[in-house]
Chains A and B, each alone.
Chain A
Amino acid sequence: MAEDNNLFDAPIPGQSLTAEPGARPWQQPAQFPTVEEAFEFYVKRMTDPKINDSLFDALEMGTPVTAIAEIIVQSGVMEGKHTIDVSIQILPVIMELIAYLAEEMEIDYNMGMSNKIDQDIIPESKIALVVNKIKKQKPEEENEMPMVEPEAMPEEGEEPTGLMSRRM
């Protein structure tokens, strides 16, 4: 954790002012300004067999999909392909695309999620949410349902045993 929060792994204050404004690619208007265009760009690149060898090598070495996706979109920002906002938006879809490609190539990959998401397990909170939704959808039907009252059961009390008590 200490490595993640390294305060010295950052640009020197004022470093951005050492180059002419607008000289860096990310200071120019993005080449792919929309999410759709940016995603299309990545799909073309990642499905190209000439390019994606290094991607599969990284996956086989055990690099998490999250890290690979972050590096890919980050390099896209640095090359001026798209903005940082777009990169955060397309991150999960890029991850899903990498996972799909890895499975297609039968590579045992690491998704890089701390909490593994098992799609077969439905959390209880979601079940409760759905049940509430169904209840809200059909409130009238529930009201129309006849209430079934339990039959009156004869109480089996102790027989009165006093001298003046009446026998039933």
Chain B
Amino acid sequence: MSLQGQAAKSYTNLMNKSMSNAPDVEEPATTGLMNRSRPVKKEDKPLDSQGFLMEQFTQLQKLRAGLKNG
């Protein structure tokens, strides 16, 4: 039983996926006094295993980038 280089392949695949995902755009909050529209919070979708892995992967990438940038 050997994984025979699966690590490099799966890493490349996940990296490509993470780069193709559109980043979340933060909408500016409207905070006027007379403003009647209230911002609706986006509900968190339950993560499947792939979503969980992608989230962990991107979080680790951000942490690594934070280390590199000081």
Q: Which residues of A contact B1 (CB under 8 A)?
A: 74, 77-78, 84
Interface residues of B (CB under 8 A from A): 1-8, 10-15, 19-20, 49-50, 52-53, 56-57, 60-61, 63-64, 67-68
Q: Which A-chain residue is minimally distant from B13 (CB atoms)?
A: A92
Give the docked Cα–Cα distance between A56 and B50 (Å). Answer: 28
- Listed from nearest, the 7 A-B pairs whose CB atoms lie closest are A66-B7, A92-B14, A35-B49, A92-B11, A96-B60, A70-B3, A91-B7
Number of A residues with CB within 8 Å of any CB on chain B: 37
**Interface assignment of A97: CB less than 8 Å from any CB of chain B:** yes
Residue of B7, B53, B57 ringed by the most chain A CB atoms within 10 A? B7
Interface residues of A (CB under 8 A from B): 4, 34-36, 39, 65-67, 69-70, 73-74, 77-78, 84, 87-93, 95-97, 99-100, 103-104, 112-115, 117, 119, 126, 129
